[in-house]
Amino acid sequence: MQSRVAPLTGLRALAAAAVCLTHAAFSTGHYTDDFVGHLWARFEIGVPIFFALSGFLLFRPWVRLLQDGTGHQPDLRRYAWHRFRRVVPAYWVVVVFVYALGLVRHEPNPSGSGIDGLLRNLTFTQIYGFGHLRVGLTQAWSLAVEMAFYLALPLIGWVLTALVCRYRWRPARLLAGLAVVGAISPVWIMIAPDIERTARMWPPAYLWWFVGGMALTVAVALARRWPRWATAASLALAVAAFLVSALPAIGGPPTMVPASQVEALVKSGLYLVIAVALIAPIGFAPASRSLYHRVLGSRPMVWLGGISYEYFLVHLIVMDVLLLDVFEWPIFTGSIAIAFLATSAVSIPLAWALRAALPFGDDEGRTATQKGVTDVRTGA
């Protein structure tokens, strides 16, 4: 696979926009208990896409070591430093800003307030226990899950490559091992309510979204060709699964974690299908000239994808301030389109400034056209 894949970066932009759109729908009171309301809620699919992308990109070094037969595990210090510098500095800046803003702005919801809430959010531990999610930062629950995956991946990679595959390219064994790891999620979803009140938001519940991307990496390494019709078929599958997930009888109420374990399991499984189906055409045929590839690989989409993480970080506090303080809309009222567009209009330049201001190091050695483009060797 070529090292830099522009459409993957464009897909990140699409995922971030989907998250902002679903938050705009929620904030304006459009999470209604009907198909349309559920459809707006299902744009939370941006989170599973991000998780699957992480699995797809970050597991690549372990697949490569099996193919090369070197037996050398990836450099964990480099891996840890790269993940830290890409995720943590920008996140800490936004967390501190949100809490500082809370000192001068009335917050209708006290959840996550105080020093304890600040420390919880700074350390990605806000999902462990009730009452730690902060207004303007509630989307960061997914970062807590993502960080847990970053910590677990080297161990998972070592077990699969050293113990399961014995440092030999055995894709059947590797996929079987991944299936076992992925099976943790459906089991966890079913037993989580008996463990702790917030356990359904803990990392095991979402592990199979990451594993779906990891399995896709193995499949791409095995593939010889990607038929032309396969892209359309994959996208049709994603759209169909998305629409089915919005059926009230299938995916449950408009919430990330339905109360019913069965509904939560079905919806999470459909999200897995959608995320993998959207990534597959790019993974199998990164140089394709299909409309899907050309749109996601266009310069505007790649530029937006390059700041998608920062956009994700700032969009919720921007939306909260705009809707309540600037527009002065009563809570759960207003226009989805205005909320989404206004939030994006403010968040995009803020995201660019945040990206430009911090010394990430991801763009070192890249040309102007390569900056921000996803590198499949590093996951950046």
pLDDT at 380 over 80: no
In eight-state DSSP terms, residue 374 is E
For residue 130, report the phi and psi dihedrals to the nearest 5 degrees: -90, 145
State what percent of residues in the chain have pLDDT above 90: 88
Rounded average pLDDT over 31-35: 94
Output the CA torsion sign for 5, 9, 14, 15.
positive
Q: Please list, residue by residue across 334-365, b when 16 or more beta carbons sit within 10 angstroms of its beta carbon and e when fewer do.
A: bebeebbebbbebbbebbbebbeebebebeee
In a domain, 366, yes or no: no
Who's near 352: CB < 8 A, 6+ residues apart? 307, 310
Terminal CA-to-CA distance of the chain, rounded, Å? 15
Amino acid 165: pLDDT: 97
Domain membership of residue 232 as a residue range: 1-361
3-state secondary structure of 312: helix
Q: What single string gives the DSSP state of each residue in 214-232?
A: HHHHHHHHH-S---HHHHH
Q: How confident is the model at residue 374 (pLDDT cuts 50, 70, 90)?
A: low
What average pLDDT does the chain have?
A: 93
In a domain, 368, yes or no: no
In a domain, 214, yes or no: yes
pLDDT at 179 over 60: yes
Over residues 210-237, the pLDDT tens digits come to 999 999 999 999 998 999 999 999 999 9
pLDDT at 369 over 50: no
Residue with tokens 């339905």: 258
pLDDT at 172 over 90: yes
Q: What is the pTM of this model?
A: 0.94
In a domain, 50, yes or no: yes
Largest CA distance in the chain: 61
Over residues 304-328, the pLDDT tens digits come to 999 999 999 999 999 999 999 999 9
pLDDT at 379 over 70: no
Q: What radius of gyration, in Å, describes the C-alpha atoms of the chain? A: 20
Amino acid 365: pLDDT: 43
Q: Quote the strand ranges of the chain, DSSP E.
A: 4-5, 374-375
In a domain, 380, yes or no: no
The secondary element (H helix, E strand) that includes residue 196 is none
Rounded average pLDDT over 23-52: 97
Residue 199 CB neighbours (<10 A): 17
As a whole number of angstroms, the distance between CA 147 and CA 123 comes to 10
pLDDT at 368 over 60: no
pLDDT at 332 over 70: yes
State what percent of residues in the chain have pLDDT above 70: 93
pLDDT at 16 over 70: yes
Is 9 in contact with 309 (CB distance < 8 Å)? Answer: no
Q: How confident is the model at residue 142 (pLDDT cuts 50, 70, 90)?
A: very high
Rounded average pLDDT over 18-32: 98
Amino acid 263: pLDDT: 95
In a domain, 306, yes or no: yes
As a whole number of angstroms, the distance between CA 293 and CA 282 comes to 7
Amino acid 366: pLDDT: 47
Rounded average pLDDT over 169-198: 97
List the single range of 6-20, 104-118, 137-151, 282-296 with lowest mean pLDDT: 104-118
Q: What domain count does the chain have?
A: 1
Q: How confident is the model at residue 376 (pLDDT cuts 50, 70, 90)?
A: low
How would you class 109 by CB atoms within 10 Å of its CB: exposed for 0-12, middle for 13-18, buried for 19 or more?
exposed
Residue with tokens 């299938």: 250
In a domain, 19, yes or no: yes
Over residues 70-124, the pLDDT tens digits come to 888 999 999 999 999 999 999 999 999 999 999 999 877 889 999 999 999 999 9
Rounded average pLDDT over 197-202: 94
Residue 187 CB neighbours (<10 A): 12
In a domain, 375, yes or no: no
